[in-house]
Each structure stands twice: as structure tokens, then as C-alpha cells.
Amino acid sequence: MRRNVKYLLFFSVSWMFVVVYYLQSIKDPLSPKADEHRALRLKDTLRSLHSDNEMFVNYAASEFSTTTNATNSNKVDVRYFDESAYLERGALRPGQDPYESNKYNQAASDNTPTNRDVPDTRHPSCTQHGAWRDLPPTSVIITFHNEARSALLRTVVSIINRTPAHLLKEIILVDDFSDTPSDGEELERIEK
């Protein structure tokens, strides 16, 4: 009986030491990190490595493009995009059912701010890993069909604001025969 108590006591104490050591080795996910925004800075080496690839992709896009691209003089920063005028053209009419066209509450979607705080749901060890820092730039393709303008604009703004600049090459909007093709065409004016 005494031998079992000794083993149980030894096992309990050693288990507590293991737990304390493990908890001490994990960094606090809420503490500010010095290199947290390091990934937002452009790297010259990444630009030089992918410049040849970008020329090929730009050539291919110009060859097979079926939509008219906005010229650089018409481009506007996302901060200066006239959000209210864009949303007003797709707003609900008085008495219209908010669930009718999109099968979700368009009135609530229209009232949700486009640049809202979205919590970071990644595991703390994923934020510390840093493997995403050296990835090549990517294109984001958004396919939509009769999407509410507020949801479409919120998606584009979230991508621009939350993706590190060196990882986002372009955003491609693919309109899948919507009733109002101007929904996506007006968003082409937003500059990355």
C-alpha cells in the first residue's frame, strides 16, 4: 500500500513539472511581437525572382482577357473608393424582402461595415511559424452570381486589407452571368 502511494505521489509531482514546463515554453499569444509586421514589407529578392513569371502571366492575361480592364488613370485606392454610391445602386427598395434575391438577409449585410474587425482564429503556433513569409505572390479569384454589392465589396476590401502586400498579386472577379454586370465592373477601379 505504501509503495503504491509513493508511486502515485512521484507520478503526480513529475506530471505537474511536465505541465508547468510545457506552459512556460509556449509564448503568450497576446504579447506583442517585434517582428509581427515584418511580412508586410516587400522583399527585393522576391520581386526579382518573380518578375519573369509576372511578365508571362500578364501576357497570358492580356491574350485571353474578355473583359475591358480599367486604365491606371481610373484606378482609385480602396480608402477613396465611393462605397456609399456603389452600395446605393444595389440597395433594397422599400418593402422588398431582404431574403428574396440572395437567400440571406441583405439588409443586415448592407448595414455591416466593409472594413470590420475580423478575429484571427489561427492557432497561436501558426502565427509564430512564419512559413508564409517566403511564399510567392498569388492571385485571388472570386466567382460571383447575383451577389449583394455589400458582400462583394466586403470580400474585396478584406482581401486587400488583410493579405500582406507582397503575397497579393491580383484579385480576379469572375461574374457568372449576373443580372447586373456592373457589380464587378465598378470594383475593377479599386487599386491593390
Q: What is the pLDDT along the chain (192 residues), one digit of tens a residue?
A: 777 888 888 989 999 988 888 887 775 544 444 444 443 333 443 444 444 444 444 433 443 443 444 444 566 666 667 676 777 777 778 888 888 877 788 888 888 888 878 788 888 887 777 666 778 899 999 998 888 888 888 888 888 888 888 888 988 988 888 888 787 887 777 776
| 109 neighbors 148 (Cβ within 8 angstroms) | yes
DSSP letter string, 93-149: PTT--TTTTTSS-HHHHHHS-SS------S-HHHHHH-GGGGPPPEEEEEEESS--H
| 82 neighbors 190 (Cβ within 8 angstroms) | no
The whole-model pTM stands at 0.55
